[in-house]
Amino acid sequence: MGALIEDAVIDNETMVERFLRMDRLPHIWCPGCGIGTALRSTIEALADMDIPQEEFAVVSGIGCTARVAGYLKLDSFHTTHGRSIPFATGLKLANPKLKVFVFSGDGDLFAIGGNHFIHAARRNMDLKVICVNNFIYGMTGGQVGCTTPTHSKTSTSPYGNYEPPFNLCFLAAAAGAVYVARWTTFHVRQIKRSVQEAFAKRGFTFIEIISPCPTVFGSRNGFPTGLDMMKYFKANSLTVAGADPRDVEIEMGGKLKVGKFVDNERPSFQDRLSEMWGDLGLEESRIVEAE
C-alpha cells in the first residue's frame, strides 16, 4: 500500500513537472483560489491523452486565469485583454496540426472579449475554450463583471450588483459551440473528463469552471475562505446532464446546475475550408513555414 502511494506521488510529480514551467513557480494566485485546481485537472487531462506535448498550444488573455499560459510548459501565448480567441484563431489556421486551447477568465472572454467568443463559436473554429468563472475581476481588486450574480457586492457595486449576469453556457450554445459543459472546482474528475471530451471533438468547445475567489469575491459575499465556497459548491451543485442551457442561469443561494449540456456535431471551420478547396479542385491548404 505504501509503495502504491509512493508511486502515485512520483507519477504526480512527474506529470506536474512535465506540464509546468517549474522555474516559474511559485505562482501568483491567492490561497483558496480555484484556478490552480482547474489547471491541475486540465493537466491531468492533457497527460492522459495520446497527443504529443509539443502539439498543444495554449492562448490566454489578461487577468488571474490568463496567467495560466505563463505556467504551462507548452507553446504558450499570453496576449492582450479579451483577444485570446482571435490570436488562437490565427495560430490554429496557420498550423492546423496544433491542438490549440484557450484558458482565460470570465471578464476576459465574455466582457471585453465577448464579440470574439461568439464569432469563433459561430464559425465552429477548432478551439477548446476553458473559462474559469470566479464572478469578478480578481487581478484589479474585485470589480463587478458581466458574470457577477445580481445583488453580489464588489468594489464597484458596493450596494449590490443591479445587473443580471450572463449565462455563459447558454451564450456558448446559442452561438454554436458543439460542446458545452459546466463544472465547479469541486468537480475535479468531471473537469478532466470534459477536457478530454472537448479535445476529442472537432470544432468549438466550451467548458465553464466555476471557481472560488475568496480574496475579492468571497470576502464580500459571505464566503471568506476558499473552503467556504467549495462547501457551497458541494452542497448546492446539481448535475443535470443534457439540461437545456437556457435553464442553467446562476443565482447565488440557488442550485448550481452543472454537467454536460451540449454535445453535438456540425462542420468545423476547417471542414468547410477543406470542402471549398475540394470543390475548387485545389489541394488541401498546407501553410508552409515562413520561408
In the complex, which residues of this chain contact another protein (CB under 8 A)?
21, 23-24, 53-55, 57, 59, 69-70, 73-80, 83, 85-95, 97-98, 115-116, 119, 273, 276-277, 280, 282-283, 285-291
Helix axes 2-19 and 35-47, enclosed angle (nearest 10): 100
Burial 52-90 (b: 16+ CB within 10 A, else e): eeeebbbbbbbbbbbbbbebbbbbbbbbeebbbbbbbbe
To another protein, the closest distance from the beta carbon of 64 in angstroms equals 14
To another protein, the closest distance from the beta carbon of 115 in angstroms equals 6
To another protein, the closest distance from the beta carbon of 150 in angstroms equals 29
To another protein, the closest distance from the beta carbon of 172 in angstroms equals 16
Residue that has been written with the C-alpha cell 490549440 in this structure:
100
What sign does the dihedral 179-183-189-192 (CA atoms) show?
positive
Residue 80 or residue 196: which is nearer to another protein going by CB? 80
To another protein, the closest distance from the beta carbon of 230 in angstroms equals 29
Residue 20 or residue 180: which is nearer to another protein going by CB? 20
Sorted by sequence, the CB contacts under 8 Å of residue 209 that are 6+ apart come out as: 34, 38, 130, 131, 132, 133, 182, 183, 184, 185, 191
To another protein, the closest distance from the beta carbon of 138 in angstroms equals 17
Residue 88 or residue 178: which is nearer to another protein going by CB? 88
Peptide bond into 96 cis (omega under 30): no
Instruction: Return the H-helix or E-strand segment holding 20.
Output: none
Residue 137 or residue 183: which is nearer to another protein going by CB? 137
Residue 43 or residue 243: which is nearer to another protein going by CB? 43
- Counting beta carbons within 10 angstroms of the beta carbon of residue 17, is it exposed (0 to 12), middle (13 to 18) or buried (19 or more)? exposed
Residue 117 or residue 217: which is nearer to another protein going by CB? 117
